[in-house]
Amino acid sequence: PKVITLPGDGIGPEVTAAAVQVLREVAPDVTLEEHALGGGAYDAHGDPFPARTRDALAEADAVLLGTVGGAHDSAWNKLPRHLRPESGLLALRKALGCYANLRPVRVQPGLEHLSPLKPELARGVDILIVRELLGGIYFDGDRQIEGDSAYNTMRYTTAEVERVAKVAFWAAEQRKGRVTSVDKANVLEVSELWRRDVQALRDREYRSIHLNHEYVDSVAMLIVADPSRYDVIVTENLFGDILSDLAAVIPGSLGLMPSASLGDGPGLFEPIHGSAPDIAGKGVANPAAAIMSVGMLLRHGLERPDAANQVDRAVALALREQPTRDLGGQADTRTFTRAVMRALG
Amino acid sequence: PKVITLPGDGIGPEVTAAAVQVLREVAPDVTLEEHALGGGAYDAHGDPFPARTRDALAEADAVLLGTVGGAHDSAWNKLPRHLRPESGLLALRKALGCYANLRPVRVQPGLEHLSPLKPELARGVDILIVRELLGGIYFDGDRQIEGDSAYNTMRYTTAEVERVAKVAFWAAEQRKGRVTSVDKANVLEVSELWRRDVQALRDREYRSIHLNHEYVDSVAMLIVADPSRYDVIVTENLFGDILSDLAAVIPGSLGLMPSASLGDGPGLFEPIHGSAPDIAGKGVANPAAAIMSVGMLLRHGLERPDAANQVDRAVALALREQPTRDLGGQADTRTFTRAVMRALG
Ligand SMILES: CC(C)[C@H](C(=O)O)[C@@H](O)C(=O)O
Ligand SMILES: CC(C)[C@H](C(=O)O)[C@@H](O)C(=O)O
């Protein structure tokens, strides 16, 4: 099998190098091919999602991404929107057809103290957020800024709702069997459709799943006040962007948060943290999330659950033995990666 | 001056009665007039915002609202959208022209332990969220659900952005002078307009204010991970709905959260908690937020800062002396209200 790596910007190359080292170890038969994406790709090729990168996807079984983007005041952010690093990422998602973004939020036993929440609230949290990734207000072509007025359109079709809801139900079947669908149906028509279609699909094809519906404002509260009430959360693109980042603070470090984006073609696997330009190139970035993304790649991209479990266990061990600086420890990127490699072999 | 009271549904009447008792005590010259809004108004008049209520607003100097809405499975939620309790609330906001919703989030000294956050994070939090309340995706007429597809439109004009940003800058001048404007300008054109106009207004008229811009997903993280970094937050309607509810969990009880909605006409003052149908009529609801809303009414609606301070101090005292059940104490509605009255006089 072939994996395309897209190290990207900032700390992306460092954490991807660590992840690649782990991937080579547990899946030596995988072919790796590196390509450009993001700000660096724009600098080199005039396009944050160059044609050569796009073409390479055709042969990929999975894609491993680092991070894209620069500092707040970076020159990249002054480019026209379609040339900015983020546009490269959005175009990549679109090209891959990855409509379901899976973000597991798990508080590792023994690491409760890292959470901003009280330990008794953080303990045992294990949520999977399934975010719709190709629809809604992100991609709809009916958008405009002109003079003193601007708008965007949040649109969904039944087909878009159903395909992502299926992923959520399928995931819940392998977990506690509970799905919370999040919307703003008391105000938005597009949420009314969402709620109706998720419920109809459950009633038609997933009767063993316990489904409930909650409003996005209420979920934003409860995910902090009582995170253990959630198993799988499924929601549309913009709400998912907000809620998945919110939930990601519960474990206490973004350095621990991998993600998988799945669709009809090859999956996209990436840590959810940003490019952290302030520490880029210093060798201190925590590569745990990138390595955990390799775990998700093995599980969902290459269907190798045993290798995935191996990676997950090795990361958990290394986190206890060699915590990185963001976790209050001392380990730099290399030391942590070495601890993972040791735990693997 | 004349204050219209709209007790509404659920625990609304109980907490409003307590609030009215306090208002009479500190402002005996105020005339009070009660009207119907929400589910009860629909039951009695076939309309969640009856004409009689609407007409009464013409003579009001301020409006004191309880809560509206029923249980999740209530019959009200099965009505056509425009007859549901929430529509009454949205229509009221529109009728009053209240475009700026102010929600102070303050952790009272000594009550840090109530927060879901670690006490060291909760301590000293003092944020004012200013939410645009009449624009964006809530009210735009370009909306539809038909067959297998639905959409809503998030639209803003410069005039709408500026009038609410002014309120945020004005509020910041009386606080620490820092405003964080929240958007999703890396994806949305409507956010690009928002950001541009907020910045231009600051550069033109509020040069002493320190303004920065952050993405909504990042703010959802940071408001939990590091809430002390914020002074005033200003944002559009939907982001404000989510972020203000999120921030409201920090003090640990929704029972402590008042709000003020201001515009060109009379202001609207209400607790942010829901109608809590499960405890309605039992006399145990915490009226603190409703009473604190009287504080905001005195300050922003009737311009009586001394009376407002009196109420705020009395509530703080009563919270320590007679905490209610949601705060881990014993006091019911009446006992708590009595403690406030004692502290007042
Ligand atoms: C960078 C940005 C476009 C992106 C998004 O909003 O989807 C990011 O926030 C994410 O969640 O992956
Ligand atoms: C009830 C609902 C329409 C309302 C809103 O979304 O504005 C509520 O959540 C609020 O924040 O006051």
Domains and CATH numbers, chain A: 1-97+265-345 (3.40.718.10), 100-253 (3.40.718.10)
Per-residue confidence (pLDDT) for residue A73, from 0 to 100: 85
**Ligand 1: distance of its center to the CA of A29 in Å?**
32
Q: Is the CB of A241 under 6 A from ligand 1?
A: yes
What is the residue whose two structure tokens read 């008042």? B258
A86-106: average pLDDT: 96
B195-210: average pLDDT: 98
A304-330: average pLDDT: 94
pLDDT tens digits, one per residue of A303-312: 999 999 999 9
Q: Classify burial at B141, counting beta carbons within 10 Å of its beta carbon; exposed 0-12, middle 13-18, buried 19 or more.
A: exposed
Q: How far apart are CA B165 and CA B198, in angstroms?
A: 6
- Using the 8-state DSSP alphabet, how is residue A300 labeled? I
pLDDT tens digits, one per residue of A119-164: 999 999 999 999 999 999 999 999 999 999 999 999 999 999 999 9
Q: Does A190 touch chain B (CB under 8 A)?
A: yes
pLDDT tens digits, one per residue of B313-345: 999 999 999 999 988 899 999 999 999 999 998
A34-56: average pLDDT: 97
Q: Is residue B109's pLDDT more than 90?
A: no
A44-58: average pLDDT: 97
Per-residue confidence (pLDDT) for residue A87, from 0 to 100: 94
- The amino acid present at A240, given as its one-letter code, is G
- Closest-CA distance, A198 to chain B, in angstroms, reads 12
pTM of the model: 0.95
Q: How confident is the model at residue B297 (pLDDT cuts 50, 70, 90)?
A: very high
Q: Does A154 touch chain B (CB under 8 A)?
A: yes
Per-residue confidence (pLDDT) for residue A174, from 0 to 100: 94
Which range, of A187-201, A289-303, B6-20, B75-89, averages the lowest pLDDT? B75-89
Q: Is residue A253's pLDDT more than 90?
A: no
Q: Which residues contact B192 (CB under 8 A, 6 or more apart)?
A: A81, A145, A150, B185
Q: How far apart are CA B61 and CA B49, in angstroms?
A: 19
- Provide the H-helix boundaries in A98-188: 119-122, 158-173
Q: How far apart are CA B131 and CA B234, in angstroms?
A: 6
Q: Is the CB of A187 under 6 A from ligand 2?
A: yes
**Ligand 1: distance of its center to the CA of A245 in Å?**
9
Q: In which element (H, E) is residue A223 found?
A: helix A216-225
pLDDT tens digits, one per residue of B129-188: 999 999 999 999 999 999 999 999 999 999 999 999 999 999 999 999 999 999 999 899
Q: Compare CB distances from A137 to B157, B188, B241 and report the shortest one's residue.
A: B188
A304-327: average pLDDT: 94
Give just the sign of the alpha carbon dihedral B181, B186, B187, B192. Answer: positive
More confident residue, A111 or B183: B183
Q: How far apart are CA B211 and CA B180, in angstroms?
A: 6
- Using the 8-state DSSP alphabet, how is residue B274 labeled? -
pLDDT tens digits, one per residue of B204-222: 999 999 999 999 999 999 9
Q: Is residue A111's pLDDT more than 90?
A: no
Name the 3-class secondary structure at B156. strand
Give how far Cα A73 sits from Cα of A43, A78, A79, B189, B320, Å.
16, 8, 11, 19, 46
